[in-house]
Structure formats: C-alpha cells, structure tokens
Amino acid sequence: MSQPSITVTVKLFAAYQEAYNLPEIVLHLPPDTPVVAVLEQIINQHPKLEKWRNLTRCGVNLEFVEPDTILQQGDEVVLIPPVSGG
C-alpha cells in the first residue's frame, strides 16, 4: 500500500516564477511536510535560486508563517523573495 500524500499549490513570484516560467505549481508531498521543504525542493530543481534561500518569506493560506509550519492537504503556499521596482 502506498503512503498517503497531500497536495499543495505553490504560487510563484519574481525569481521563482521566472525560473519555472509558470505562475504556480502543484506538489504532492508526504504528510507532515514543513513549508521549508517546499522551498528546498524548488531550489534543488533550480539551483540558481539558492541565493534567495535565506531572503525568501513563506506564506500559507494568505498568512506569513515560520519555515517549520506543517502543511495540510489543499494548502496554498507562497514563496516571496525580495522584490524591488517602482
């Protein structure tokens, strides 16, 4: 029997959106996955994003959260690197 998984939607902004060329992606993750694991997976897939690791804010369901926040089925995750412009 396969291990159950949860599905989350990850909204991508700025450098993350440029790396994927998509506004969002859907991930299937093991239960009890912290939000920081999403960031790690994205950086592993696109190593050029490493420079944003310690500058990125994480949000879940429209609220900023700590990196160790555990994700739930159907959560919407946002990764927000610093942005500039006017």
55, part of any domain: yes
Task: Compute how many other C-beta atoms are within 10 angstroms of the C-beta atom of residue 33.
Answer: 19
CATH number of the domain to which 72 belongs: 3.10.20.30
Give burial (CB, 10 Å; 0-12/13-18/19+) of 59: middle
Residues 6+ apart with CB under 8 A from 23: 11, 12, 17
46, part of any domain: yes
CA angle (36 as vertex; 29, 60 as ends), nearest 5: 80
Q: What is the pTM of this model?
A: 0.88
85, part of any domain: no
pLDDT tens digit sequence for 20-60 = 999 999 999 999 999 999 999 999 999 999 999 999 999 99
Which of the four pLDDT bands, split at 50, 70 and 90, describes residue 82? confident
64, part of any domain: yes
86, part of any domain: no
Range of the domain at 43: 6-80
Return the closest-CA partner of residue 65 out of 36, 32, 30, 24: 36
Count how many domains the chain has: 1
38, part of any domain: yes
